[in-house]
């Protein structure tokens, strides 16, 4: 089948996703009217076939991941989404069937999160596909949550459950027939489909002092939150929330605990909360439908955070952080 | 030589380019405080090695192009730059020398245009390099210049000179030893180094009714400006401004005129100006240091614009628009 040119592709697959100010994607730029008294929060993350996802992943799943990893950053900054730009670099063998499925699921995710498409660019990649997203959100003026703003004594909290995606990836690469299929499915799905924790934004704005999303593993990202600030942390590993599926996987092989704590793609929120706000934060998170848990404490000091087991012994990792680069 | 990881690269090469709100590139997002009463204008364009530039182009030239093509879009929309995000997808054989030269010239261009780096992402491309830029600008509320807002009777004007970059590319692919080296150098440089016409923004805001930048060739972009609006245009080809170098190249080979009028990479501004504002627009452009010229008229009608030679005969093109896709 003959494939359409760039203009026709945009009109057919992407214009239906566009929002106000996007001029139906017929212009070279979009305008965005900020809410008075608010700052814009901007972030860009790209995913590449064969590096951030498997080239044969369903195109809809790739769309969910490309948008989701960016919305996860907005959520961590306490921002409400306003829109996104899409840079789509297609391999030579792209098909309209792939693009159609990609755009359809991208549109569903975009509508679900109130984050319309504002524009972008479509190019040939000359290699694997690359999907770059720039996401825009808003926060009240001056209120963007910083990564490095924790203080000694703050409690560390995380949303949801940690390690599911990393275990899902590990099981995809090396299936474990002894693990229940239902558990495997949960973990594989968590790897494929990040769920940005936007519902947590009000609770974060109200209570968190510092926040980031967990994308490169809890251990490494926590280190990034504190490195160079004169602070470190103690983490109570038994308090780190695990899904039932992750718990079952780790029960079969204790070495998977390190995978869960250091592997990437959680897209949960890690935040530092003043001690007297922790109860209110956890209650607000629960009320917003996002489970959250207190997992440790920020302390004065240098060096990487200390992960302690139930007996108070330090757990060491051979590789603290995941890097795709 | 061992190559640094992503965090070290960012700290070494890109943090020095960062502006207010970028948190020194140590966060997952940046905040941008809009000027009250203004809209944000957002645009994203990517350039790919082997498609939009030659892989062995100097890294600094690639940086100038990647940022310049985006700032050209902002200029055409009447926007003043506020900052940019950079998505850098590197091939497996990237070197720190390349990256250092790229970042240095990117910083120079960023400072020259008052457009600091706010953040971005660095990934492996798994193929050729891809440099994606998202640029942010500002316009007074509601004042973004649209591409498709011309009216019948408006005069069409362009900045600078048309066709230099396309002729430069043609000469790079097929050198013409009979053309003076000084002319070749001008044309080759215009292909390598787009110069976004940001100085034209005040004159555009004051006088233009519709505007876009010429990136895919004058003929094709003019068609995009008018297609589907019930309007077309007559262009007086002898009035289309040519540089001395382009004039010399075309004098040697008349077929190069079509290359100049349909080839890409001009990064000049095409705008529609009400007839009684043309003189003031041209004077304001001149005063801003950007030559501009009136080249034709918007007329009622459908179909592609009509290009007329000095005798009023229509010139036809075998390929009206350039497409990298």
Q: What DSSP string runs through A18-85?
A: B-TTSGGGTSS-EEE-PPTTEEEEEEEEEEEBTTTB-TTS-HHHHHHHHHHHHHHHHHHTTPEEEEEE
The partner residue sitting opposite A44, judged by closest CB among B38, B124, B134, is B134
Closest residue, chain A, to B121 (C-alpha)? A45
DSSP state of A12: I
pLDDT attached to residue A7: 84
Average pLDDT estimate for B138-153: 97
Tens-digit pLDDT profile for residues A36-52: 999 999 999 999 999 99
User: Distance between CA atoms of A213 and B124, rounded to whole angstroms?
Assistant: 21
Under the banding of pLDDT at 50, 70 and 90, the label for residue A55 is: very high
CA distance B221 to B213: 8
**Distance from chain centroid for Cα B71:** 7
Q: Residues of CATH 3.90.650.10 domain(s) within chain B?
A: 155-315
Residue A215 labeled ligand binder: yes
Evaluate if residue A325 carries a pLDDT over 80.
no
Residue bearing tokens 């009509």: B306
Q: Is the pLDDT of residue B2 over 70?
A: no
> What is d(CA A44, CA A226) in angstroms, rounded to the nearest whole number?
22
Is 50 exceeded by the pLDDT of residue A1? Answer: no
Give, in order, the Cα–Cα distances in Å from A218 to each of A102, A249, A257. 30, 18, 12
Mean of pLDDT over chain A: 95
CA distances from B231 to A247, B151, B271, B272 (A): 65, 8, 14, 12
Nearest-by-Cβ selection for A39 from B32, B215, B324: B32
B213-252 pLDDT, tens digit each: 999 999 999 999 999 999 999 999 999 999 999 999 999 9
Q: Is the pLDDT of residue B284 over 80?
A: yes
Does A150 reach chain B within 8 Å, measured CB to CB? no
Average pLDDT, chain B: 95
Report how many Cβ contacts below 8 Å link chain A to chain B: 219
User: What's the CATH superfamily of B6-140?
Assistant: PurM-like, N-terminal domain (3.30.1330.10)
Domain B155-315, CATH? 3.90.650.10
A124 close to B48: Cβ distance less than 8 angstroms: yes
Rounded percentage of chain B residues whose pLDDT exceeds 90: 90
Least confident range from A26-30, A309-313, B1-5, B189-193: namely B1-5
Residue B159 near residue B200 (C-beta atoms within 8 A): yes
Q: Beta A306-308 vs B38-48: how paired, if at all?
A: unpaired
Q: What confidence category does residue A2 fall into, taking pLDDT thresholds of 50, 70 and 90?
A: low
End-to-end CA distance of chain B: give it in Å, rounded.
Answer: 36
Split at pLDDT 50, 70, 90, the class of A8 is confident
pLDDT tens sequence across A65-115: 999 999 999 999 999 999 999 999 999 999 999 999 999 999 999 999 999
Measured between CB atoms, does A26 come within 8 Å of chain B?
yes
CB atoms within 10 A of CB B230: 10
SS3 A207: helix
Residues in chain B within 8 Å Cβ distance of A49: 126
Above 60 in pLDDT, residue B13?
yes
The percent helix, strand, coil of chain A (3-state, each to 5) is: 40, 25, 35
CB of B121 within 8 Å of a chain A CB? The answer is yes
Helices (DSSP H) in chain A: which residue ranges?
6-9, 59-76, 96-112, 164-173, 181-192, 201-207, 218-226, 244-252, 256-262, 278-287
Segment among A8-17, A149-158, B142-151 with least mean pLDDT? A8-17
Position A159 scores a pLDDT of: 98
Within the 29-48 window of chain B, which residues sit less than 8 Å (CB to CB) from chain A?
A: 29-34, 36, 38-48
Which residue, among B65, B164, B139, B151, has the nearest Cα to B106 in the 3D structure?
Answer: B65
Say whether A309 counts as a known binding-site residue.
no
Average pLDDT over residues B66-72: 98
Q: What average pLDDT does this structure show over B100-110?
A: 97
Residues of chain B with CATH 3.30.1330.10: 6-140
Q: Are B236 and B295 in contact (CB under 8 A)?
A: yes
Q: Which long-range CB contacts under 8 A does B174-183 form with residues at least 24 apart? A: B176/B249, B176/B252, B176/B253, B178/B252, B179/B248, B179/B249, B179/B252, B180/B248, B182/B245, B183/B244, B183/B245, B183/B248, B183/B249
CA angle at A79 for the pair A75 and A85, rounded to the nearest 5°: 90
Q: Do A87 and B44 touch (CB under 8 A)?
A: yes
Question: Token match 């001395």: residue?
Answer: B244
- The model's confidence at residue A19, banded by pLDDT at 50, 70 and 90, is confident
The confidence band for B88, taking pLDDT boundaries of 50, 70 and 90, is very high
Nearest to B275 by CA among B199, B209, B222: B209
Contact between B29 and B126 (Cβ < 8 Å): no
Asked if the Cβ–Cβ distance from A41 to B27 is below 8 Å, we say no
pLDDT at B73: 98
Rounded Cα gap, residues A201 and A299, in angstroms: 25
Mutate to test the interface with B, among A134, A149, A205, A212 (most CBs of B within 10 A): A134
Q: Above 70 in pLDDT, residue A324? A: no
In angstroms, the CA B232 to CA B299 distance is 5
Q: Which residues of A touch B23 (CB under 8 A)?
A: 146-148
Report the alpha-carbon distance of residue A222 to residue A270 in Å, rounded.
Answer: 8
| A 178-217 → B contacts, CB under 8 A | 212-213, 215
Mean pLDDT to the nearest integer, B177-199: 97
pLDDT of residue B325: 66
Find the largest Cα–Cα distance for chain B: 65
Our CA-based measurement puts residue B129 at a distance from the nearest CA of chain A, in whole angstroms, of 9
Separation CA B164–CA B144 (nearest Å): 28
CB B3 within 8 A of CB B89: no
Reported confidence tier of residue B1, pLDDT bands at 50, 70, 90: very low
Q: Classify residue A196 by its DSSP letter.
A: -
The answer to whether the CB atoms of A121 and B132 lie below 8 A apart is yes
Q: Is A10 on the interface with B (CB under 8 A)?
A: no
Q: Hey, is the C-beta of A229 within 8 angstroms of any chain B C-beta?
A: no
Query: B46 near B61, Cβ under 8 Å?
Result: no
| Cα–Cα distance measured from residue A76 to residue A184, given in angstroms and rounded to the nearest whole number | 28
Answer yes or no: are the C-beta atoms of A55 and A128 closer than 8 Å.
yes
Strands (DSSP E) contained in chain B are 30-32, 38-48, 80-90, 117-124, 130-140, 155-159, 210-214, 231-236, 268-273, 292-300, 306-308, 314-315
Task: Give tens-digit pLDDT for A209-237.
Answer: 999 999 999 999 999 999 999 999 999 99
> Which tokens sit at B32?
């941008």
From the list A50, A60, A51, the residue with the least C-alpha distance to A192 is A60
Instruction: Write phi, then psi, for B124 (nearest 5 degrees).
Output: -80, 140
């Amino acid at each position: 089948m003959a494939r359409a040119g760039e203009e026709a592709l945009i009109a057919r697959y992407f214009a239906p996703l566009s929002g106000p100010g996007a001029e139906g994607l017929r212009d070279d730029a979009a305008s965005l009217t900020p809410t008075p008294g608010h700052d814009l929060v901007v972030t860009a993350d790209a995913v590449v076939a064969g590096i951030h996802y498997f080239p044969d992943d369903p195109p809809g799943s790739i769309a969910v991941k490309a948008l989701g990893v960016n919305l996860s950053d907005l959520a961590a900054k306490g921002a409400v989404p306003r829109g996104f730009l899409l840079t789509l670099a297609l391999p030579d063998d792209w098909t309209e069937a792939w693009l159609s499925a990609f755009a359809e699921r991208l549109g569903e995710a975009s509508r679900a999160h109130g984050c319309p498409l504002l524009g972008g660019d479509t190019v040939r990649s000359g290699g694997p596909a690359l999907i770059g997203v720039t996401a825009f959100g808003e926060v009240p003026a001056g209120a963007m949550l910083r990564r490095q703003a924790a203080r000694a004594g703050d409690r560390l909290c995380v949303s949801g459950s940690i390690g599911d995606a990393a275990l899902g990836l590990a099981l995809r690469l090396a299936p474990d027939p002894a693990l229940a299929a239902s558990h495997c499915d949960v973990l594989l799905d968590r790897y494929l489909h990040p769920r940005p924790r936007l519902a947590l934004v009000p609770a974060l704005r109200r209570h968190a002092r510092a926040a980031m999303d967990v994308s490169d593993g809890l251990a490494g990202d926590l280190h990034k939150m504190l490195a160079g600030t004169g602070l470190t942390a103690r983490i109570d590993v038994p308090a780190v929330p695990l899904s039932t599926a992750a718990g079952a996987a780790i029960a079969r092989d204790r070495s998977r605990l390190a995978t869960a704590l250091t592997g990437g793609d959680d897209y949960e929120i890690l935040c530092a909360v003043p001690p007297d706000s922790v109860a209110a934060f956890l209650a607000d998170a629960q009320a917003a439908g996002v489970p959250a848990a207190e997992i440790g404490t920020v302390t004065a000091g240098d060096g990487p955070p200390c992960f302690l087991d139930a007996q108070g012994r330090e757990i060491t990792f051979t590789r603290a952080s995941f890097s795709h680069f």
